[in-house]
Amino acid sequence: MAPAMMLPGQSSSTFLLSDWGWPVSLTFRSGEASPHPCDIADLLTGLVSIPSLSGDECNAVAWLRDRMAKMGYRALIDPAGNAVGTIGTGECEILLLGHIDTVPGDIPVRVEDGILHGRGAVDAKGPLATFVAAGAKAQLPPGVQLTVVGAVGEETWGSPGASWLRDHYSRPDAVIIGEPSGWDGVVLGYKGSISLTASVERPLSHSAGPETTAPEHMFAFWARLVGWLTEHNGDREPGFNTLDATLRSFNATGDGLHERAELSATFRLPSGTGSAWVREQTEQLANGVSLDWTFNAEAYRSERTSPLVAPFLSAIRACGAKPRIKVKTGTSDMNVVGPVWGCPIVAYGPGDARFDHTPDEQIELAEVEKAVEVLTMAIERIAATLATEHGETA
């Protein structure tokens, strides 16, 4: 690997990454002797200003690596393309797993009345910048290290950045996922998801004839599916505990001899409902419709008794708010790493998730600052507990 270009005031060191289980050597950019203080508004605005559509995150990743190095992190880009920064040393590790990629959409980056507008401002560069700032600010006891990851590809099915970490990174002692929870909230779980592409092809017939057309056949399948979901969910309140399907697209085409209808849909799976069972039940409704499935993730939920919950609740109260414990109907990297690592895990980050993926994505900078304060306190309390449990003293 070619030597990394160094920033002024930095030095480089090459480390074998066997401690993390990575069979490669990479060049870290080590921080300055006196780390650059963090201006969270500047950090977040700079990050949002660099486009990082899923699959094209390299410029933002390199920028974040360099910025973390200036703040005192041992920073690198891992083989998956994730930005990784570590502070502290020891056998105990807290992993802050955010994502740096965004969905499409060119939103002019601007700050108006203390609100930052731009693609990725809330999902999820706001939480990621909060991770970087709080990690640099937190006082870690001996024996505890903290790692921040800006993962690639979270907005795509399979989440390649987090999947690579899951398969190659040693199990951390605690994980915090970077997603918008609101500065006074903490998220315990996310629904799972699978996608369906359904298709049917039939001989073309006259519109005045009795034959069922391909679009009619497809609509009948969708009606059966919706009816089954309604019966299955019963009187459950729509949300985290229901099995839901969203119609994403429908298309009908013909070549003069045959006609074809196709739809795509996404299923959101609650805890306790596996993707294999959903596929099996849906196949029984097909009646000649071909079904093609893409798996994303099973549902995952932590308990309120997780050792990460109390530090967040107390930190939020210390900052003057009543904590909110949440579960989300979407999917995150918690679903990817949680089942395999099996360590304490929650999600946290500033921002209102209602602005996710919207044409006016935005985040209040004052909320980001408050989230840095909360997360710093939570990290220090989690780190102190880990150090005590492992016999370390400050």
Show which residues are catalytic: 101, 154
Tokens of 359: 């044409």
Distances (CA, A) of 15 to 11, 28, 241: 13, 7, 46
Q: Distance between CA 332 and CA 153 in Å, rounded?
A: 11
Q: Distance between CA 136 and CA 376 in Å, rounded?
A: 9
Burial class (CB in 10 A: 0-12, 13-18, 19+), 250: middle
Is the dihedral angle over the CA atoms 66, 105, 154, 179 positive or is it negative?
positive
Q: Distance between CA 83 and CA 28 in Å, rounded?
A: 11
Distances (CA, A) of 227 to 220, 221, 244, 263, 282: 11, 10, 11, 17, 11
Q: Is 76 helix (H, G, I), strand (E, B) or coil?
A: strand
Q: What is the DSSP letter of 319?
A: T
- Count CB atoms within 10 A of the CB of residue 330: 15
* Angle, CA 295 vertex, CA 290 and CA 298 arms, to 5°: 130
- What is 172-222 written as a DSSP string? PSEEEEE----TTEEEEEE-EEEEEEEEEEEE---TTSSSPPHHHHHHHHH
Tokens of 203: 């001989």
